[in-house]
Amino acid sequence: MIKIIIYCLLVYALLLTVNLVESRIETSSRSIDTGVATCSADEECILHNKCDEVNKITRKRFLSIDERKYLRSRLCRYINREHHFCCKKKIEKKRVLPEVPVCGLVFSDRIFSSSEDPYIDKYPWTAISMYTTPENKIESHCGGSLITERHVLTAAHCNFRVPKTWKISKVRLGEWDRRTNPDCMEFVNEQVCNDPFVDVQVMKVITHPNYKKESVNQFNDIAILELERDVKFTEWIKPICLPVDLNIRNMNFTSHSVEVSGFKLTEKDVESSSPTKKVFYLYVVEQEKCKANYASMKVDVTNAHICAGIEEKKEFCNPDSGGSLVKEGTFPSSKFAHYQLIGIQSFGPEHCATTENPGLNFLNKLLQ
């Protein structure tokens, strides 16, 4: 009995509240049946309970004369005892691409002895794509690059050349040594350790709409992994800069030295992957030479591709599939030295990509 009474009282209180709001609006808009206000371009005519500006007023116990006048002036429609008011359109905050010095950070004062072993905080945009198997095992088979707090750039083929029963489930950020967590390294007689790695669930895979997985050319081999939540940028986790500046996208990098970081993760071979993050120094090969090299395989090399390889074969010579090809320098868009993404690792020779037999990267011209 008590529960029923409480329930009835709650319903009664709710009805009183609704009626109170309605009566205030009714009083404020008395003699207005069809609405007189014309909403501006940045406004929309919506129900009173969906407009924050109106709700702030109607929630008050007493309304001033000015508040009543305001409600009358904003009433744009009155249909079936439902009041609609001109209200500012809610504009969703657009996610802005990070800019220098947030993205592409360069630590010029930190140099490590081995050319293939980067300092523990270098290339902080490097991501590892992780897949869940039917046996609930986690497999790492591709790389990627953090580009915003919630997006990782990778190759589209990474989602099609793994077993169909596998599902990309998360990405790992802030990793340097896959055998330990956190990771530490010796630097100038001092031990430096990073923060523990961060695993973030993948909410959605957005593949380029013109990508054809069966095509030998692998045009538009690009995908974006939308993460479940925003990632906090730290010393160990930062995004790479995208070439939003037209001058950068039009630059000719032939014969330039470029870099790609990763763990030698591919969709085919996980056994030869590296436990620690590596850096690979490549050279951009002229387009005509690259076209001739791939002609026998009937692969069309276009301006959407950039070819790069190493001068000599090394132990760790094939970078991550889906990893980013980056160039360090002072670019037109900034006075600070930083890294810019200029390509995404697509495909190449089965073993080492050399300047005589270069690998193909998909040049990021999608921003055009």
Burial bucket for residue 180 (CB in 10 Å: 0-12, 13-18, 19+): middle
| Residue 181 resides in a domain | yes
pLDDT score for 362: 57
Q: Are residues 359 and 231 in the same domain?
A: yes
Low-confidence ranges of the chain (pLDDT < 70): 1-35, 91-95, 107-115, 267-271, 311-319, 333, 348-368
Same domain, 328 and 252: yes
Q: Which of 40, 62, 88 is the last residue of a domain?
A: 88
- Can you say how many angstroms the Cα of residue 160 is from the centroid of all Cα atoms in its chain? 20
* Of 232, 93, 223, the residue nearest 149 (C-alpha): 232
Instruction: Establish if 98 belongs to a structural domain.
Output: no
pLDDT at 252: 86
pTM of whole model > 0.85? Answer: no
Got the DSSP string for 37-81?
A: ----TTEEEEEGGG-HHHHHHHTSSS--HHHHHHHHHHEEEEETT
Cβ count near 169 (within 10 Å): 15
Determine contact, residues 252/230, Cβ cutoff 8 Å: no
Are 47 and 158 found together in one domain?
A: no
Residue-wise pLDDT for 90-101, tens only, equals: 765 566 788 888
Known catalytic residues? 157, 221, 321
Which of 368, 316, 321 shows the shortest CA–CA distance to 145?
321
Domain span at residue 238 reads 126-363
Q: Is 327 helix (H, G, I), strand (E, B) or coil?
A: strand
**Which CATH number belongs to the domain containing residue 40 in this structure?**
3.30.1640
What is the per-residue pLDDT across 117-167, written as a single tens digit (0 to 9) for each? Answer: 788 989 999 999 999 999 999 998 899 999 999 999 999 999 888 888 999
Return the pLDDT at 7.
34
pLDDT confidence of residue 22: 45
Find how far residue 345's CA is from the centre of its chain.
17
Among 62, 88, 114, the domain-final residue is 88
Residues 71, 197: one domain?
A: no
Domain identity same for 311 and 236: yes
Q: Is residue 114 one of the residues assigned to a domain?
A: no
